[in-house]
Structure 1
């Protein structure tokens, strides 16, 4: 599935808010066993066991299905780079190969492992960009997490990386927004909401912050606030498909049925995604 599709909320409010980061693939059942077997053989990092908290693809439940995208060529490349990394004798080569290995893991959507090796590279050669790559990978792992425990773990790792970014560049609003969303998964969700509001203070047109605050408003049944957030979002970007869809949902929940119908019909013309069209049709059937 692509980023233009509607998400299935897997766990808790944090992962509901992570609907912005959409599942990327659908795997046929008959393909899962063979792909999983091959991927596990090639995808476990050196000194990075299934029990050390970095590569739990096989234990992620339904989330692992979204990660099973590796082709034989990708698995071969991954195994090759891993072998080179293990054999690298000098620090410079290991740092370079850690970055290549992280990118290879990201290509097959193994974001926890990608984050681990980007972090290795960042610690060896610190810099805003290197820490951001690690944070982004861990954040993707956070959005795919199938359990609250796993979300907390990946969210904490993402925050640690992003804190290094924000220390040097406090105006990096994408990193700040992602930090905010990881806090939503903790026992202090208000900290995340405060950060999102800070992002909007700095950039009132920030689409990501507007979208996530809208989703959070819906999850807490504050549909009036959700309408306001999504209206602001679509005024900034009239082609924002997900924002338009959720604006229609929020309008329907606040009794503005005609406006909601118009937007659901509009959404169907904004994307050729059949899942999105089906969702819109289901809402229209309820409203008619």
Structure 2
């Protein structure tokens, strides 16, 4: 019994690490992290204090400029200097430009912080959703264990503000539910939010994906299969098929796992993934 449980855990951890390495989607990467990457994320119900969630825009900007083109760095510096002295709508427009500039070079933290500036001034549903989405994307992609909880708290705050404007927004509720599951409260509260989203929109891919991943993490592979099968019926993706294959494999459904792995390989078109799946398929065929 214990051997089977350990075997499943090894398979699961291996799949998770591979998914992160292949970076199928930024959202998925953030929802399932290796244990060592989530050490400093708040435990269930352990909220990060507002003070702890503060991020220095000047510091992340300086760090970002160290890894981008020198001419672009100078351009951003000039825009930031204008931003500091601008007021009202002029400052909002500069914040939009800066958010896009940083996003274009995949520096997600400063981009998210400028989107937060916009949301603070506009206080609209869409501006808070944009900020929340960018903070979650930054959270998904950072390897900085000290930055992770701050970004998660920022995302939680943005989605909470969005929900305050429109409590019926499925995007806001999905985002908020994910932040809760990831550490901003009791996981089951977040799961309840996501279940409500799926109840209202059964084909909601993001909510279903989150619920499926949570099912994998909790060892409920049969439930995970239902979620991922629903997803691939609506919008086939390499990550959904990979998770589906992992779930099948953990239940010993090797033929189904092979089929899902091969579909993941075909959609991803990733040489490294293809090599892994070819090896995995060979191993699974020997068990049939």
Does TM, scored on the shorter chain, surpass 0.5?
yes
**CA RMSD, aligned part only?**
3.2
Larger fraction in helix: 2
CA distances 1:55-106 after superposition (whole Å, capped 9, x unpaired): 5659x9xxx9xx9873344323322211221243x33322221222222222
- From 19, 23, 33, the counterpart of 1:6: 19
- From 169, 172, 182, the counterpart of 1:172: 169
Structure 1, unaligned runs of 5 or more = 21-50
Please give the alpha-carbon distance, in whole angstroms, between the structure 2 residues aligned to 1:253 and 1:17.
22
Structure 2, unaligned runs of 5 or more = 1-17, 34-52
Would the alpha carbon gap of residues 189 and 202 (structure 1) be closer, same or farther in structure 2, given more than 3 Å must change? same
**Structure 1 residue 148: deviation in Å?**
5.1
**Structure 1 residue 281: deviation in Å?**
2.1
CA distances 1:165-206 after superposition (whole Å, capped 9, x unpaired): 222223322232221111122252222211111110111111
Would the alpha carbon gap of residues 217 and 157 (structure 1) be closer, same or farther in structure 2, given more than 3 Å must change? same
Contact 1:15 1:185 in 2 (8 A): no
- Secondary structure of residue in 2 paired with 1:204: coil
In structure 2, what is the equivalent of residue 48 of structure 1? none
Q: How many residues align?
A: 244
TM-score, L = length of structure 2: 0.73
- From 83, 94, 97, the counterpart of 1:97: 94
Q: Which has the higher contact order (CA 8 A, sep 6+)?
A: 2
In structure 2, what is the equivalent of residue 252 of structure 1? 249
Please give the alpha-carbon distance, in whole angstroms, between the structure 2 residues aligned to 1:57 and 1:278.
37
- From 149, 158, 161, the counterpart of 1:161: 158
Please give the alpha-carbon distance, in whole angstroms, between the structure 2 residues aligned to 1:52 and 1:17.
20
* Greater shift in the superposed pair: 167-176 or 207-216: 167-176
- Secondary structure of residue in 2 paired with 1:7: helix
Please give the alpha-carbon distance, in whole angstroms, between the structure 1 residues aligned to 2:282 and 2:191.
34
Contact 1:135 1:162 in 2 (8 A): yes
The answer to whether 1:193 aligns with 2:164 is no
**Structure 1 residue 243: deviation in Å?**
1.0
In structure 1, what is the equivalent of residue 31 of structure 2? 18
In structure 1, what is the equivalent of residue 72 of structure 2? 74
Would the alpha carbon gap of residues 16 and 129 (structure 1) be closer, same or farther in structure 2, given more than 3 Å must change? closer
